[in-house]
Structure formats: structure tokens, C-alpha cells
Amino acid sequence: MKSEQTYLTTDQLSDRIHYTARTIRNELLDACLIEGKHYIRPFGRRKILFIWEAIESDMLNIAHDSLALACKKPMEVVNHG
């Protein structure tokens, strides 16, 4: 059985991720959000529906990776001269 997916309009996604709908359409669409993975165009139309679970998963993975990088100790440089 396939798990249910939550489909959001641009305005609904905007409320969840705290970016304006305009920023989502103009900057995130096709740069960070990939058609078929993060959003669909039902029935080949212009309307876009975002897949919340895919977006949330990628946001959390990127945040986790960024946090891991920030916590790593910098390499120690030793000058023997």
C-alpha cells in the first residue's frame, strides 16, 4: 500500500516554509524544487501541486548535512618551519 501524500498549493506551501509564494515560483521552482519529485502539474495544466513529504524530507536532510558540516572540527595546520 502506497503511503498518502499531502498536496499543497503554492500559498499553502508558502505558509509552511515561510517563503512568499512569489519566491517559491520565481526562485525555488526548478532550482530547488524538481518537477515529478517535489511538485506535479495535474492533468498537464498550469496549476502546480507541491508534494509536502518530499519537500520536508529534503529540507530536513539538507539541514542535517549543514549542521554536521558546521560541527566538524577544522583540520589542524602544523608549521614545522
Please give, one letter per residue, the 3-state secondary structure of 6-73: CEECHHHHHHHHCCCHHHHHHHHECCCECECCCEECHHHCCCCEEEHHHHHHHHHHHHHHHHHHHHCC
Give the pTM. 0.73
CB 28 within 8 A of CB 37: no
Q: What is the pLDDT along the chain (81 residues), one digit of tens a residue?
A: 456 899 999 999 999 999 999 999 999 998 899 999 999 999 989 999 999 999 999 988 876 665 444 444 454 555 666
